[in-house]
Amino acid sequence: MEMSNWEIADKYTILKIKLEKGLDCEEQFRLFEKEIEHIDKDLLKDLYEINLEMWLHEEVLTMVIASEDYHRVGLLYASLRDLTNQRTAAKNRIAEKYDKFRELKKY
């Protein structure tokens, strides 16, 4: 697979969440599962938990947007942005351990 370890780990954790949510991605998940065997389980767990929290935020954000509660939308967006920064940091911890390049993101 021609991806960095942090990209593989991120995709794996997202696919794991999708699978848990009942989405049909078993085949793709199994491919990535083979690729993450060497990655530190604690690093994967951290990234998984952040991605899950982001998923849950997105679900709530969708409902709040539909209700037109824009003050709450703003609060959720700020929280989601913080989670994005946490996610970038988690991916960079994986990159620092296994890869040459890190993900660069700045807001």
| Residues 6 or more apart whose Cβ sits within 8 Å of residue 36 | 8, 9, 12, 44
Answer whether 0.75 is exceeded by the pTM.
Answer: yes
Whole-angstrom Cα distance, residue 17 to residue 28? 13
What would the two tokens of residue 7 be?
Answer: 């990209």
- pLDDT, tens digit (0-9, with 9 covering 90-100), for 75-99: 999 999 999 999 999 999 999 999 7
For residue range 21-41, list pLDDT tens digits in order.
999 999 999 999 999 999 999
105 near 99, Cβ under 8 Å? no
Q: Do 39 and 5 touch, CB atoms closer than 8 A?
A: yes
